[in-house]
Structure 1
Amino acid sequence: MDNISIQMLFIILGILILISAYFSGSETGMMSLNRYKLRHLEKEKHKGAKRVSKLLKRPDRLIGLILIGNNLVNIAASAIATIIALRLSRELGISDDLAVLTATIILTLVVLIFAEVTPKTLAALYPEKIAFPSSIFLMMLLKVLLPFVMAVNWITNGILMLLGISSEQREQHSLSSEELRSVVNESSALLHAQDHSMLMSILDLEKVTVDDIMIPRSELIGIDVNDDWKKIQKQLTQANHTRVLLYRDNIDDVVGYIHARDALKLLSKNQFTKATLLRAVRELYYIPEGTPLNIQLLKFQHAKERLGLVVDEYGDIQGLVTLEDILEEIVGDFTTTQTPTPSDAVTLQPDGSYLVDGSASIRDVNKEMSWKLPTDGPKTLNGLIIEHLEDIPQNNLSVRIAGYPVEIVEASENRIETVRVMPEFFVSEDEEEK
């Protein structure tokens, strides 16, 4: 070292700091890559993505390689800085201890700024631009230092085993539904509004049950097969649906359902009688209440069914759900329905309040109006208010539910017909507690 000039030592020190910056940046760049985008690029035959994927298959080797290189370079830089400090101490006439201490402080700041923070910040901001080119040199270096890297990994893996940790136990890069929902939300600027809404609706299917979207029992429309034949014919011709429920005397004694196509076939053959109608009845499919929509969608697919009756634990009919109802949860309304839509159920008043039908679905009203009425209990606004008051209230009674002032405008003996909601006076529950 005595034969090397101090200028050359500074040049060597600068080169070592640059190499240290390379290793630091490479490490951050490799670990900051979006794994899903990396897989996509790998499928697109991107050479850099292929190299990086190969390196990341064994992260213990990659990290070992980078840390071996980085530590060797930093130790060498420290040694060079010490030699430079000792030489300068003789020329300047200061003590060796003071010179070494000063060199240590200066080198620490230089390494921290130029070999750690700056390259790692740059790599975190542009991981692909750093990782892909860097992988070329790392692949070559790994081949050269593989025995040394494997030896270091063998020792570290042994220490991990003593701690009860296996090197095979790696985190799987899979997303939970909540994480996937966050990804979709963050990508909303890149997606069409309708596409974003559909994706979010698909992810929300597991949170919504058949009880939330079913046509309730009180609104079920069917045909009593014990009625006069002319009346049955009239009801069939005026039906708004291609599938019509058939029952005896009351909806609890459901016979099945008839498809309009089957009725037309019988009519075309002049065989359209009550007897042939009953023979053409199709069996009903039953759905347990509380079934999540994502599961029911698969069940409809496997059973080749398009509608089903929702029943409770006692087998009593609660409502009806169709495949179209589930699809509308994803893509929005696209079929004709007998039940009022939120726009029909909600009417804006001149004073800024809204008149809402008591039978309106809370979920639909929340979605339409961007309100936050609770949906973890009753399904309708009528049920929500009755549960809150534990009684069927009289007219002109006002309550506050989830921060929303609600006035009962009209009520009958057994249900609330119309309410007035004043969202402009909404107060959050946290603010109300304060």
Structure 2
Amino acid sequence: MNDIHLGVLISALVILILLSAFFSSSETALISLNRYRMRHLAKRGHGGAVRAQKLLEKPDRMLGLILLGNNFVNILASSIATVVGLRLFGDSGLAIATGVMTFALLIFGEVAPKTAAAVAPERFAWPAAYIYNFLMKPTLPLIRLINLMANGLLHLLGFNTKTRQVQGLSAAELQTIVRESSQHLPDQHQELLLSVLNLEQGQVEDIMIPRADIVGIDISAPWEEVLEQIKHLSYSRVPVYKGSVENTIGVITVRRLFGPLMDGSLTLSRLKRLLREPYYVPEGTALTTQLLNFQKEKRRSALVVDEYGDVQGLVTLEDILEEIVGDFTTSPVTDNDVVQSEADGSYLLKGTMPIREINRELAIELPTQEASTLNGLIIEQLEALPTVGALVDLDGIRIIVESVHNRAVATARLTIQNEPSSDH
């Protein structure tokens, strides 16, 4: 090497530092790639993504190739720098070459290229994937030998190199990704996705119409009253029962009654022939499960029953869809759905209003684990039947019972405070 011209050695040194930068940046870029975006691009036929995915399927081989190249060029660069230092500065050139090469490799071969690759991994990873797939074939025997020795050492240290981490995301992790994708997703799309992910946390009793508020047709009443009930129905499907909803005999699609009702041919026997068997679901059924059940059973509503078979409420397909996309403008509005704003900043609410609806309307987080309605939440917190003036404080949210009917909260006033209250 002493016979080689000094200019050639310096040129080779510069090229080796650039190669070191290539290996360092490509390693960081390939490891930093968004795996899900890479898979998406690979399915669409993006060449760089296809090759990068192939490399990352066997990371030990990829890292073996990168480190083999990186260490080779670094060692060779150090050797050349030593020769250049000795020829330029004599014996002191050894120390000078070591210091200069340490600084040069650290800045130009490691820190700068790795930082750039971490900021824009795709810009470095796609071209590198082409090169590495080309280099993999001729160097594969040597890489296998290196990996065999390295894996053997890891095995002795107690590591199982054959296991692969499952590339999957939990619902909570997906929620984090959606929230962090606000720059790429419109707000409405982001809210929709989060609502879908939150759906699995809810159960049918969280959104069902309570038993006392179920609107239906009581055929035990005189026929004239039954006709009046039908004329004033505001829902497209309602249960038909005898005396109480516990004795539901079927479900009717109201529009099927319009023709016979208009021409006066509707009779009790004809009404019964139009009924469909009632559909029951147990309490505790997850909303995601019930949504799939509605699709499977071709149904749009179901009666919710407890462990004893007693009817607790009615859940509809529209109720579940509203948990995802928000309220439909075509849905009939009841008193229970109204959040009445007061001049003092408080809100007057019906006791039968679902907690999930309150949370959505007021952007708060009342607990839903043990109760599905405001009345249930108040009773749970008081551990007693409610009385007028009873007070509940929940992490900065104060609820005062305004009126009681039949041992249940009829109305309550909710105030969102700046600081959690310590009063009980």
Q: Give the TM-score of the pair, scaled to structure 1.
A: 0.89
CA deviation after TM superposition for structure 1 residue 167, in Å: 4.5
Distance 1:404 1:206 in 2: 26
Matched, 1:401 2:394: yes
CA-atom RMSD in angstroms: 2.5
Matched, 1:375 2:365: no
Q: Which residue of 1 aligns with 2:132?
A: 138
Which of 193, 197, 208 is the aligned partner of 2:187? 193
Aligned length: 422
Distance 1:21 1:427 in 2: 54
Q: Write the letter of the residue equivalent to 1:336.
A: S
Secondary structure of the structure 2 residue equivalent to 1:255: strand
**Any unmatched runs of 5+ in structure 1?**
91-95
Q: Which residue of 2 aligns with 1:93?
A: none
Q: Which residue of 1 aligns with 2:15?
A: 15
CA deviation after TM superposition for structure 1 residue 320, in Å: 0.5
CA deviation after TM superposition for structure 1 residue 340, in Å: 3.8
Which of 204, 223, 227 is the aligned partner of 1:229? 223
**Any unmatched runs of 5+ in structure 2?**
none
The 3 A distance-change label for structure 1 pair 378 and 52 is same
Residues 297-306 or 228-237, more deviating: 228-237
Residues 303-312 or 134-143, more deviating: 134-143
Distance 1:267 1:349 in 2: 43
Distance 1:363 1:69 in 2: 58
Q: Which residue of 2 aligns with 1:43?
A: 43
Q: Which residue of 1 aligns with 2:73?
A: 73
Matched, 1:336 2:331: yes
Q: Write the letter of the residue equivalent to 1:426.
A: N
Q: Which residue of 2 aligns with 1:83?
A: 83
Contact between 1:372 and 1:402, CA under 8 Å: does it hold in 2?
Answer: no
Contact between 1:85 and 1:100, CA under 8 Å: does it hold in 2?
Answer: yes
Q: Which residue of 2 aligns with 1:354?
A: 347
CA deviation after TM superposition for structure 1 residue 251, in Å: 1.9
Contact between 2:354 and 2:374, CA under 8 Å: does it hold in 1?
Answer: yes
Distance 1:397 1:250 in 2: 32
Which of 406, 410, 428 is the aligned partner of 2:403? 410
Contact between 1:24 and 1:115, CA under 8 Å: does it hold in 2?
Answer: yes
CA deviation after TM superposition for structure 1 residue 288, in Å: 1.0
CA deviation after TM superposition for structure 1 residue 358, in Å: 2.5
CA deviation after TM superposition for structure 1 residue 164, in Å: 6.1
Identity of aligned residues (%): 45
The 3 A distance-change label for structure 1 pair 176 and 417 is same
Distance 2:136 2:348 in 1: 71
Q: Give the TM-score of the pair, scaled to structure 2.
A: 0.91
Q: Which residue of 2 aligns with 1:179?
A: 173
Which runs of structure 2 are paired with 1:4-403 in the superposition (5 Å)? 4-90=4-90, 96=91, 99-162=93-156, 167-264=161-258, 272-334=266-328, 335-337=330-332, 339-340=334-335, 342=337, 344=338, 346-403=339-396
Distance 1:301 1:393 in 2: 40
Secondary structure of the structure 2 residue equivalent to 1:117: helix
Deviations, residues 13-39 of structure 1 (Å, cap 9, x unaligned):
222111111000011111111222222
Contact between 1:373 and 1:402, CA under 8 Å: does it hold in 2?
Answer: no
Q: Write the letter of the residue equivalent to 1:49.
A: A
Q: Write the letter of the residue equivalent to 1:396.
A: G
Distance 1:405 1:238 in 2: 38
CA deviation after TM superposition for structure 1 residue 7, in Å: 4.2
CA deviation after TM superposition for structure 1 residue 419, in Å: 2.5
The 3 A distance-change label for structure 1 pair 412 and 299 is closer
Distance 1:333 1:380 in 2: 18
CA deviation after TM superposition for structure 1 residue 383, in Å: 2.0
Secondary structure of the structure 2 residue equivalent to 1:189: coil
Q: Write the letter of the residue equivalent to 1:14.
A: V
CA deviation after TM superposition for structure 1 residue 51, in Å: 2.4
Residues 37-46 or 301-310, more deviating: 37-46
CA deviation after TM superposition for structure 1 residue 295, in Å: 0.7
Secondary structure of the structure 2 residue equivalent to 1:372: coil
The 3 A distance-change label for structure 1 pair 191 and 253 is same
